[in-house]
Structure 1
């Protein structure tokens, strides 16, 4: 019966964003109640039938009405039991959530900030003098289907706002800048395909609906030439959560590409070049859009035809790349007619307004790239070893998968792996180092360096002061506008450490800080000052070359500090020399609470890692596709996996015999509001926690799906937490705020001031909506250009990401918002993310690249009175899930970095390994779900170890909420009846009153009729 309901209701729930596994668990959770309702229905039928044959004629309607009303009241009771029982987390999450009614002035500020971010973040990467357009250009032909349906964001948790209401389009932007646009072209695109194909959570549509050449016949091009001699071509790409971008579009269009990445080949739907769960619609039946080996981030044949056609008819062509992922763009240099290229990733609600202003010259572009734009994305060091390159699925785990599927019905995946074979040489760090070492011809591989961007004016940058102190290096840089128009420039500070062949791995170019100038008028100068801690240039010695157990070390030798226009081109530099190594593995760096040492040996890759030794001599072997034997999971790892999943995980195996059962249910008279603003170690926390029952702790820990639960014993109010990195979005209620730009566009501003403004505006929206929990920002890395979620992450560089996120988090914290920075850690691909994805990498790679942004945000948090949070990721580090990795969450996050606050899981879909007991023991306090899975159950609540862990997790959650905007006004945070309870009390009282009234009417009518009958008989 339940399985039948699952099959019947799955399409509806999937349309609402839930998975089949979610549907199954929702229905299984209420299965007993469903059977009770069916029994009541059967009883009601029996009563109705019996009334006809047993009851007297005059009383039949009384029996039937009474039976129907009793059934209704019983149904009301069952609904109450469901809503306050297995479905409590979902129902309370909806009814207690903020309605996100953001005030007009706050929303207006956000819209202004979004536009400003785009004005500073759009990047001009090519300009032969075409831009800004001369004043005599009054009309523009805008080509490309994407001109009518641009990319404003991505899909998933970073989607917010309504892109059909209030959003500034490309056409509006150009018209607002004073240009007339060709309606004939725009109307053609609007009619060709309505709406942008959705790349969503549960299904992807990789279609690129560009009209074919015949659509431009019949005078369209001649009319366009008569309309204007200037053309704009818009090319767009988008991505989303839960899927990486296809690297074999030929297979996609012929229905053989495995979008779900589950090891199953999708059925081909040849009539439209589509396939189930991941659709592709070609633009012509006469040809394939892509040749064999073609990928999503290069032009389709129809797009190539468009570019060729436009360049054949116009001498002045502007190309707008409206893409959230770095594309292959060498083609823009194949046409002399293409005079300018602008990068405009997801612009959010009003960001596209910047485009017209930049083209006209009203705004001078100052954005810089946050990724290295290479000429061939299939030749990057990561291409063969990341989610885009195919399923890295263990081939000998069929039995393990069957066990997981049987034990946990949410599991529908595989057991897979990814190796970070590039080591520390991610992105520009490889290309700059290989170039410096004479291994590659730089510009034959790189088109636009990291940190690259043009302006309408020119600048000089000069180091005017340089001083090496005991623990720091100070650098002053004077920037002068030497051109003819006002503009802003970015000062990028890099360091080059000494490298010993075969020693600790080091890139030759490493970003360490940056600043953006104010608007400088022609001839004006500004001096930018940096103070860099020497310890921030230390390398992590995971191979124990110079440390006993791993750790940071600043090696002796010559260091170069350079300012660059981008990662490749040096403007000025200075050097300093260290006479001796500085070993931080024993005493730690000044920012460390505990010295960092090796903790993640189990995550070391069995694959060879790229090394600078002998000029990257191992490049070919290290970056090759995994060998056949790599696809075999070892017996040892399989055993560890079983112990970490529902197959064999036993809470009692983790009991500490010395643990002491904490006090519960005490009557100390405290409420959470009493603890607001008190230190984490204040003695009253112990007294408050003593008041909680074990069941309340379980409820608090398991009820973390876009909320935290109300706890009566401590007077804790229910709270509402929201996605996401690009704006407020509540998954349960559908409430949204302003759509902010994609994080990649934010980072392209290279502006700390802009980061603070974005965080400030976001914080105002959350506070205005009375929502203080924020699932963001996100700071995983652009390890591969094909990661579907790159729009949600800042950059390929850890330092740029960490600095930007630090300012954004601090900006929001001013309003009492606690940010769950995410996804901790190594969630740099979407492929197999909810399956058992084993991530393997060196500890040096982990600490210097993957963990670095998180470390910077935690250490740069400025507020003693407020707190922040962390969200863990789905993937595993080696054979340990991140959600239950004590080395990650306790030793590093809390121990080494000194983090204080709550750690939440990513969405708790169980997947066989998101086990609440295991998570809290490791330091993951809150499960982002509704506590409905078997993996959420606590079966040993008589264990002192379990209750102690529950108590600690509860403290972290309570401390975070108490020091947020929810408790800024003590009078409004004293607990009391929740909104859900108020609604249910009102509805229940109303239902009972109506039932009693109806029953009284029925009985009264029956009594009156009986009296009349009796009178007639007399």
Structure 2
């Protein structure tokens, strides 16, 4: 989502231009009257002049009222929002943030160095030790109204003493972190040069202070930009103001020695390497803390003999670094597991060459301009198919296509502890289409701790048949805190149909092929502890009348138009096409047949899609029914038709057009305004600048593998939102970590769809406990930031889309009962995600049974050249994320087809909002906003003053006239 920019400001000015013109016209008219009557000496002169200025004043007052109760009403209301979070809720959120971090921080390596002795003196190396990352940027940023616990404070709060000379050295070097994200990108990795270290005698002084060294390495990320895969700014660089800028105006470094074409942003920089070299010479038992939400290349931790412990600590939110201190001293036993795989060389990931900036060369006529730069429609090929993250490495290793140990450093689901656990797998219990397995977990170590139970399945695979990964997470659970010697039996249950694969080539449906299904209890995605088998004698095809039990309608092929013209990675013949499938694209021409069907705002005409047989729905009826009367009624209850009959075309058009951070009012049916707010880890009101405590980054929550904590996360957000009088939450975000370089990985959960879906579902349910509807986003395949709103055409086969990228959303709708969805900027093939009837209606609503509303992502000025409310509502997207007129967010077509679509969109919006906290009895009688009361008072005073002035002017006129007559 985007913040308001200059284009939005211009749109606002355009919306109030008629009112401003009226004011100026009246002012000029008053001046003209004064000029014309300047030589008159009659009694009528003063009366005429006074009358002209009274007309100007009252006209101005009227124009201002029309502005603030018309185009500006939404923004003023949002900017003067009320509601205050209680201290109790804030304190609960602070504690929860620390608890999430305590279970989400992952111990990657430990050769008995950790835990450190409580109260130890510590040398903190690395500039980021003084300026760590708490989350991401953009809509995922934290509210600055609340203080944050810094990394240093977190350690000090745990009782450690920190070398203040080092702290001063780093803060003197630089105090601010480079900004990356929507409005600018500075990919400098701040770190003093080795000469600066040596000049200050830092290493010798530090060794004299203490023998304990903790090195902090951090990498940032945020909305609007993906991470650089080369620290080389390009061939057209110029040093400007001490910084190196690439040809696209992006700053890469103000440290010349760090510019390195052979290194990516997710590797150690040259300066960091030099610093580590020096620390390694002076210290033994070095602890490295990786403060990043994107998995880095960490092979270096095995190359330095004295790095004995490694901790992964993603964005910790506003209190989470307290947990880091407690983990370092052993007060808390780490139990986090990696929600992404860590590989030695990110260039080996199968998506690497098909991620980034690829633009069509034959689409110039559809280019859009942004800040003076023309952007041709772009594309991305999901050439790796279903083999994302651990699914590729585990399957390729099983097939002998790769040497696993040479590729993977830390598997998915990996994490160490200060204690030891044993796990004993029970037998499979199959009943009513479900499989249950008990796992006995015992703490066999010396300290209390928690562990994660992970079940994976390996389906039968036929060479050249339906693509299947050999390792697929199918269930997980977090234990309670187990004391030494204590055991707990954890039950994991899943549906047999969850192991089905989507066959897009032959059956065009989900298929559970016959054969032996191996179900394994594993330590992580790679290390198997025990296995049970589940044989299936016959194929089960979930087609025709045999739909999956979780579906409302049979899931059949609907996404053939997304397939694209490229080779998809296949397991066939031991990944024989690996090199061909994973190479960078060479064809930058959109096929002629696709180009002929491509639509954006330059050639879209909704009337061409009108259906002649459609009948105009009833509008402007005078039924007495109010929206509040329909609370808790079924979506299909006949009362809805009576309510919808009351709406006018303008009512519905406004409801669809103005969906930015709110749903708007409709007085005749008692539709109140509801407020929606940003923030995957907090509630942030972009208008009032009020917000909540920032919880840890979503990936930190994912690392917990704890559904109870996810529910508490949503519950905390929902409680604070309710107290802020906020009804909608733009989160949770659950796109897939297709690439480690994706800018928004911090706010997305994982590379694994099941983990993302299960945790997001609990967050949604937690918010719903307080009547807050969560917009699950960005639906779907919004897995990179590059070109995200430059008509990015995403090409993928349907199996990949369904099994990997739609799956988290599917779980969230079916299990989390999500009532709101935010669609994404990108296209599915040539069709915008927000205009996909196949995904938004046939899959989301018909197959999954979704009942609720779908909102666009930020609806920028001019709709970025392709966003269009008329097109969207006809295909299942209900309203637009903007609070102003941006040119294409109002529906202007009044045909029967358009009005039917408007009516359905209005139904979806009204159904969701009436069943939210906004219509809870205690929230319905809050009265007018303070600004509205103030405006009325000002109007009364101004009108009274005008009346008095008019009377006085008339009296003076009458008196002078009488005098003149004498």
With the shorter chain as reference, the TM-score category is over 0.9
The answer (yes or no) to whether the contact 2:792–2:826 under 8 Å persists in 1 is yes
TM-score by length of 1: 0.90
1:413 and 2:385 correspond: no
CA distance 1:411–1:638, change in 2 (3 Å): farther
Match of 1:162 in 2: 144
Match of 1:891 in 2: 842
Note the alpha carbon deviations across 1:476-529, whole angstroms, 9 max, x for none: 111111111111010111000000110000000000110010011111111111
SS of aligned partner of 1:935: coil
1:903 and 2:903 correspond: no
For the residues of structure 2 that align with 1:73 and 1:540, how far apart are their CA atoms?
67
Match of 2:157 in 1: 176
1:772 and 2:745 correspond: no
For the residues of structure 1 that align with 2:185 and 2:603, how far apart are their CA atoms?
35
CA distance 1:974–1:282, change in 2 (3 Å): closer
The answer (yes or no) to whether the contact 1:210–1:283 under 8 Å persists in 2 is no
Match of 1:612 in 2: 571
SS of aligned partner of 2:140: coil
The answer (yes or no) to whether the contact 2:870–2:893 under 8 Å persists in 1 is no
The answer (yes or no) to whether the contact 2:917–2:923 under 8 Å persists in 1 is no
Match of 1:596 in 2: 555
The answer (yes or no) to whether the contact 2:26–2:55 under 8 Å persists in 1 is no
Note the alpha carbon deviations across 1:582-606, whole angstroms, 9 max, x for none: 1112211111111111101110021
> How much does 1:362 deviate?
0.2
Note the alpha carbon deviations across 1:328-372, whole angstroms, 9 max, x for none: 111111112112111111111111111100000000000001111
For the residues of structure 2 that align with 1:30 and 1:280, how far apart are their CA atoms?
38
SS of aligned partner of 1:439: coil
Match of 1:935 in 2: 888
> How much does 1:45 deviate?
4.5
SS of aligned partner of 1:531: strand
The equivalences for 1:661-700 within 5 A come to: 661-700=616-655
Aligned residue among 570, 581, 591 for 1:634: 591
Match of 1:4 in 2: none
Match of 1:336 in 2: 305
The answer (yes or no) to whether the contact 1:37–1:75 under 8 Å persists in 2 is yes
Q: Give the root-mean-square deviation of aligned CA atoms.
A: 2.6
SS of aligned partner of 1:131: coil
The answer (yes or no) to whether the contact 1:717–1:974 under 8 Å persists in 2 is no
SS of aligned partner of 1:631: coil
For the residues of structure 2 that align with 1:902 and 1:462, how far apart are their CA atoms?
45
The answer (yes or no) to whether the contact 1:712–1:975 under 8 Å persists in 2 is no
SS of aligned partner of 2:271: helix
Match of 1:6 in 2: none
Aligned residue among 243, 247, 251 for 1:280: 251
SS of aligned partner of 2:865: coil
For the residues of structure 2 that align with 1:397 and 1:268, how far apart are their CA atoms?
34
> How much does 1:676 deviate?
0.8
> How much does 1:927 deviate?
1.2
Match of 1:852 in 2: 807
For the residues of structure 2 that align with 1:76 and 1:276, how far apart are their CA atoms?
51
Aligned residue among 282, 288, 299 for 1:319: 288
Note the alpha carbon deviations across 1:281-319, whole angstroms, 9 max, x for none: 6354xx431321321111111111221122222213211
CA distance 1:129–1:378, change in 2 (3 Å): same
The answer (yes or no) to whether the contact 2:186–2:253 under 8 Å persists in 1 is no
Match of 2:538 in 1: 580
For the residues of structure 2 that align with 1:579 and 1:840, how far apart are their CA atoms?
36
CA distance 1:127–1:694, change in 2 (3 Å): same
Aligned residue among 287, 295, 305 for 2:274: 305
Aligned residue among 958, 967, 973 for 2:919: 967
Match of 2:126 in 1: 144
For the residues of structure 2 that align with 1:410 and 1:729, how far apart are their CA atoms?
30
1:192 and 2:165 correspond: no
Match of 2:186 in 1: 205
SS of aligned partner of 1:507: coil
1:126 and 2:109 correspond: yes
Match of 2:366 in 1: 400
Gaps spanning 5+ residues in structure 2: where? none
For the residues of structure 1 that align with 2:645 and 2:521, how far apart are their CA atoms?
56
CA distance 1:976–1:117, change in 2 (3 Å): closer
1:869 and 2:855 correspond: no
CA distance 1:972–1:524, change in 2 (3 Å): closer
SS of aligned partner of 2:874: helix
> How much does 1:412 deviate?
5.4
SS of aligned partner of 1:465: coil
The answer (yes or no) to whether the contact 1:673–1:973 under 8 Å persists in 2 is no
> How much does 1:79 deviate?
2.5
Match of 1:21 in 2: 7
Aligned residue among 510, 528, 538 for 1:570: 528
The equivalences for 1:698-847 within 5 A come to: 698-847=653-802
For the residues of structure 2 that align with 1:232 and 1:69, how far apart are their CA atoms?
73
CA distance 1:54–1:355, change in 2 (3 Å): same
> How much does 1:564 deviate?
1.0
The answer (yes or no) to whether the contact 1:199–1:239 under 8 Å persists in 2 is yes
1:228 and 2:228 correspond: no
Note the alpha carbon deviations across 1:366-416, whole angstroms, 9 max, x for none: 0001111111112211011012xxx20001211222xx66xx999953200
For the residues of structure 2 that align with 1:111 and 1:449, how far apart are their CA atoms?
31
> How much does 1:738 deviate?
1.2
The answer (yes or no) to whether the contact 1:268–1:276 under 8 Å persists in 2 is no
> How much does 1:200 deviate?
3.1
CA distance 1:434–1:812, change in 2 (3 Å): same
The equivalences for 1:232-631 within 5 A come to: 232-251=214-233, 256=237, 269=240, 271-274=242-245, 279-280=250-251, 282-284=253-255, 287-387=256-356, 391-401=357-367, 413-469=375-431, 471-544=433-506, 547=507, 550-586=508-544, 587-627=546-586, 630-631=587-588
CA distance 1:1006–1:159, change in 2 (3 Å): farther
Match of 1:918 in 2: 871
Match of 1:260 in 2: none
For the residues of structure 1 that align with 2:439 and 2:405, how far apart are their CA atoms?
28
For the residues of structure 2 that align with 1:895 and 1:128, how far apart are their CA atoms?
54
For the residues of structure 2 that align with 1:450 and 1:806, how far apart are their CA atoms?
21
Match of 1:8 in 2: none
> How much does 1:28 deviate?
3.0
1:949 and 2:901 correspond: yes
The answer (yes or no) to whether the contact 1:100–1:736 under 8 Å persists in 2 is no
TM-score by length of 2: 0.95
Structure 1 residues 197-206 or 956-965, which shifts more? Answer: 197-206
Note the alpha carbon deviations across 1:95-151, whole angstroms, 9 max, x for none: 4xx43411110111111111100000000101111000135x621111111111111
Gaps spanning 5+ residues in structure 1: where? 1-13, 257-266
SS of aligned partner of 1:735: coil
Match of 1:219 in 2: 201
SS of aligned partner of 1:790: coil
Note the alpha carbon deviations across 1:518-557, whole angstroms, 9 max, x for none: 011111111111222110000000112xx1xx10000011
The answer (yes or no) to whether the contact 1:912–1:935 under 8 Å persists in 2 is no
The answer (yes or no) to whether the contact 2:244–2:254 under 8 Å persists in 1 is no
**Count of residues in correspondence between the two structures:** 962
